[in-house]
Structure 1
Amino acid sequence: MRPTPGMAFFTLTGTLAYLALPILGWGGIAPFFAHPARTALIIVTMALAVAAIFSGGNISSGEREDRGNRWVLAAFGVLGLLAGYVPAWNDRIGFWAIDGDTMRWIGVALYAGGGVLRLVPVFILGRRFSGLVAIQPGHTLVTTGLYGVIRHPSYLGFVVSSLGWVLAFRSGVGVILTLLMIPPLLARIRAEEALLRSQFGAEYEAYRARTWKMVPGFY
C-alpha cells in the first residue's frame, strides 16, 4: 500500500525520537553503540518502522469508536516512555541485570520476532487496522490465516516485542514494566471484542467460539 508523506514523516521521526530515550539512558551515542546487540536493536527498530509505513494502518476513529477506551493509549504512552529509558539506564549502571550477553541476544530475537508478528496483521487488515478501537468504513471480519487461530495476533506480537526490548537491556525492572502493560492491553481487547460483537453479531460470536484470544490452547 502506498504510504502518504505525512504518515511516513510521522512514523520515522517518532521512531527516531523514541530511540533517543535508550541512547540517553545508556549515556550517549558512543556508549550505546559499543555493544552489537544494542546496534542490532536499532537496526531492527528502523526496519520495522520503514515496513510499518507501507502497512496501511491508521489512527482513524472511523464510523464508530469506543472513545471510553482511549485511556489505554495514555497508559501505553507512559509505560512506553519508561520502557524506552529505564531499561537502558538500568543496563548502564548494572541495576537488577538479568544474566549476560546471551540474554541480550535472546531479547533482540524476541523483539524482532514479536515486531514482525505485531506488523503482519496490520498488513492483513490494512485500512481496517486503527490505533483506536473503531469500526472503519467497509469493515469486514478476517477469519483466515493467523486470524483463523487467534483473534489478536498483533497484541501477542506487542507483548513479545515489548518483553524482547527490555531483555535486550537485561532489565529486571523492564520486565515489570512489560507486565504492567498487560492490564490495559486486556482492557483494550475487551473493548474491541465488545465493539465487534455489536457490529457483527452472530458472525463474530461464531468466530469467537472457535478461536483463542492470543495464545492457542491457553488464552
Structure 2
Amino acid sequence: MATKVTLLAVLVVVGYKMFSPPPVQPPLPHERRKYGKEDNVDWIAGKQWLLVSSQIIVAFPAACEAVVLILRDHRGPVSGFVLSHLVYCDREYAYRLKMSSIFLAGWSAAVAGGLFRMHCYRVLGPQYTFQRAIIDGHQLITTGPYAIVRHPAYAGFNVYMLGTLIALLAGPGSWVTECGVLGSSTLGRFVVGAWVLCAFHFMVMAFCRCAGEDEVLRKEFGDKWVRWSQRTPARLLPGIY
C-alpha cells in the first residue's frame, strides 16, 4: 500500500509542476504579437485561477486513490465519513485497490514524460513560456531534446497525460475502476469525465500548436529554421509526426 501511495504522490507532484507557470517574466504584448490571436492555452495561461483549476483536476483521481489507500484500514468517524464520499459501493471494495502492471506502465510513461518536459524548461530557460511568444533576443534552440523532435515539451506533456490516463483508468486495482466511481456516483462520473476531457483537450491543443509555432519560427529564423527542420523532421513523434 505504501509503495502505491508514494507513486501516486509522485504523479501528483509531477502534474503540479507541469501546470505551474515557468518562473520567468510573462511575455510582453509586443512579444506575443507575431502569433496573432491567442489560442485556448494562451487564454488559460493568462488566468491564474484556470491554471490552479487544471492542477486540481489533473491531481484529483490520483489524490482520491491515495486517500482511500491510506484510510481503508482505519476505523473511525473521520475515515468513515471520507470513505463514504469516495467509495460508492461496499467499503470492502476499497481493498481491491492494488498495484498492477498496467498502473506501473502508465505511471512510468507519465513520470518519464513529465521529467522530459521539465528538462525542456531548463534547456529553453527564459524563452519557455506558456503563452506563445518571440521574446526580445529570442534564440532558436536546436540541441538537446530539440535535436530529437522540434516540440519536445509538447511531446513530454502528451506522454504524461496519456500515461496518467492509462495508470488511473485502464487497469484493475484503481479507485476509478474498483470503487463504483463510474457506476454509482453522478458526481464521480462528472469529475472523471471532466478530468478526461481536460486531458484530451490539452493533448489536442499541443498537436494543434505545432504547425503554427513552426510557421512563426520559420519566418523569424529563415534558413536556420529550415536547416533545423531538415535535421529534425519530426514535430512530436520521430518517424510518425
Equivalent residues of 2:41, 2:131 under 8 A apart? no
Equivalent residues of 1:105, 1:168 under 8 A apart? yes
Instruction: Give 2:228's aligned amino acid.
Output: Y
Partner of 1:20: none
Deviations 1:48-106 (A, max 9, x none): 867999x7555324752125233234579599465444677799659xxxx97222222
Equivalent residues of 1:111, 1:161 under 8 A apart? yes
Partner of 1:120: 119
Instruction: Give 1:203's aligned amino acid.
Output: K
Structure 1 residue 190 and structure 2 residue 225: aligned? no
From 31, 37, 42, the counterpart of 1:64: 31
Partner of 2:76: none
Instruction: Output the CA distance in 1 between the equivalents of 2:108 and 2:114.
Output: 10
Partner of 2:224: 203
Partner of 2:9: 42
Superposed, 1:142-153 pairs within 5 Å as 142-153=141-152
Question: Which has the greater radius of gyration?
Answer: 2
Partner of 1:102: 101
Deviations 1:162-212 (A, max 9, x none): 112222322596666544433322222222222212211222122123211
Instruction: Output the CA distance in 2 between the equivalents of 1:117 and 1:107.
Output: 15
Give the TM-score, by structure 2 length.
Answer: 0.60
Q: Structure 1: which 5+ runs fail to align? A: 1-33
Equivalent residues of 1:87, 1:170 under 8 A apart? no
Q: 123-132 vs 37-46, which deviates more? A: 37-46
Partner of 1:26: none
Instruction: Output the CA distance in 2 between the equivalents of 1:119 and 1:107.
Output: 18
Q: Aligned pair count?
A: 181
Partner of 1:14: none
For the structure 1 residues 105 and 200, does the alpha-carbon distance in structure 2 shift closer, same or farther, using more than 3 Å as the test? same
For the structure 1 residues 113 and 83, does the alpha-carbon distance in structure 2 shift closer, same or farther, using more than 3 Å as the test? same
Equivalent residues of 2:31, 2:136 under 8 A apart? no
Equivalent residues of 1:151, 1:213 under 8 A apart? yes
Instruction: Output the CA distance in 1 between the equivalents of 2:129 and 2:42.
Output: 12
Instruction: Output the CA distance in 2 between the equivalents of 1:92 and 1:188.
Output: 39
Partner of 1:22: none
For the structure 1 residues 49 and 84, does the alpha-carbon distance in structure 2 shift closer, same or farther, using more than 3 Å as the test? closer
Q: Structure 1 residue 43: deviation in Å?
A: 3.0
The percent of aligned pairs where both chains have the same amino acid is 23
Instruction: Output the CA distance in 2 between the equivalents of 1:89 and 1:47.
Output: 16
Instruction: Output the CA distance in 2 between the equivalents of 1:52 and 1:137.
Output: 24
Instruction: Output the CA distance in 1 between the equivalents of 2:23 and 2:238.
Output: 27
Give the TM-score, by structure 1 length.
Answer: 0.65
Instruction: Output the CA distance in 2 between the equivalents of 1:103 and 1:58.
Output: 40
Instruction: Give 2:210's aligned amino acid.
Output: I
Q: Secondary structure at the match of 1:170?
A: helix
